[in-house]
Amino acid sequence: MKWVKLILIGIVLVITLGAGVLATRFYVLLPLVRPAADVKAPTTAEAVARGRYLAHNVAVCMGCHSKVDEASPGEPIVEGTLGGGRIFAMADFPGTLRSANLTPDLETGLGKWTDGEILRAMREGISRDGRVLFPMMPYATYREHLSDADALAIIAYLRTLTPVKNVSPPTEVKFPVSMFVRAAPKPVDTPAPPQPAEKLARGRWLLAVGSCKDCHDTFDERRQTIAGHQLAGGYVWDVPGKGKVVTPNITSDKATGVGAYADADLRRAIFEGTGKDGRDLYIMPWTYYAEQTPEDQGALIAALREVPAVNHMVLPPAK
């Protein structure tokens, strides 16, 4: 019995030491943070226009950082709230999810932030005060796909927004999710290349920077993408006054995805908000994509055509 007790004590010590190492890693070594870069966004009209296009029609920053009419198809922005932040009503979120005020307001927005601090938050997930941003803000995507020129152009545009005085408290995330979120930020070691020009490559870039996967992947109960189910759909959203909607399978599968859609069907869905069956589309930010250039719209459709087929039937949510 003495040896059994000693073995049990040893196991407890090992577990305790392991937990201590894990805690040290997450609370001392993480997040990975570096000082904000000493950079300055351009102020030319060309840069501002480029930033506006990216923020509204490609990355759709404004759709997440403004109050929107969730009960209307395409989630149009509520007048007077552009860039002022938003609270997300997500029943399954372990806390309260809020997006930041991106306007130049000195007290509640980015007015006192340097361009380098905004750049770091955008692509590395670290706020001005050192907080870790919840990765619903797709900084990992921007870290990989958003070049210095594009990121600084977005900052140039944000500096021109009308200040909105809207206190948007930081997102609150419950333990243990709050601990694991600390591992998400990562410094940009090698800046992303410029936007590709070739049609198919550009379409892939638009799919990535538009964060289509964040809504259209198939997720498990921890909201981790199920292997082999990229863009296969199935996430359920609550729409005020409309009940539940489910994101469709947008892979090239002809039976359960969009493989059998004509280009005109895809255009109506992505850029006009009308499903193949004629229904209005909610959650899908088609009001923003509607203003993409014809070239970008064609590139996006071309990229969808090559998404590997996943046979995954997405059924309407239970009432």
What's the pTM?
A: 0.88
pLDDT above 70 covers what percent of the chain? 89
Residues 157 and 207 occupy one common structural domain: no
Number of domains in the chain: 2
Helix %, strand %, coil % for the chain, to 5? 40, 10, 55
Q: Is the pLDDT of residue 91 over 70?
A: no
Q: What is the pLDDT of residue 25?
A: 56
Residues 50/153, Cβ–Cβ less than 8 Å: yes
Q: Which residue has the tokens 């994509």?
A: 289
Is residue 257 in a domain?
yes
The strand order across the sheet containing 95-99 reads: 86-88, 95-99, 172-173
Distance CA 68, CA 47 (A): 26
155 and 245 in a single domain? The answer is: no
DSSP summary character for residue 306:
T
Task: Give the per-residue pLDDT at 239.
Answer: 84
For residues 51 and 110, membership in a common domain is answered with yes
Is residue 267 within 8 A of residue 260, CB to CB? The reply is no
Please, which pLDDT band fits residue 26 given cuts at 50, 70 and 90? Answer: low
Q: Which residue, of 124, 147, 181, is where some domain finishes?
A: 181
Domain range for residue 142? 45-181
Quickly state the pLDDT bin for 9 (edges 50, 70, 90): very low
- Report pLDDT digits (tens) over 175-227: 777 778 888 899 998 989 999 999 999 999 999 999 999 999 999 887 789 99
50 with 177, same domain: the answer is yes
Residue 186 located in a structural domain: no
Residues in contact with 21: Cβ distance below 8 Å, sequence separation at least 6, in sequence order: none
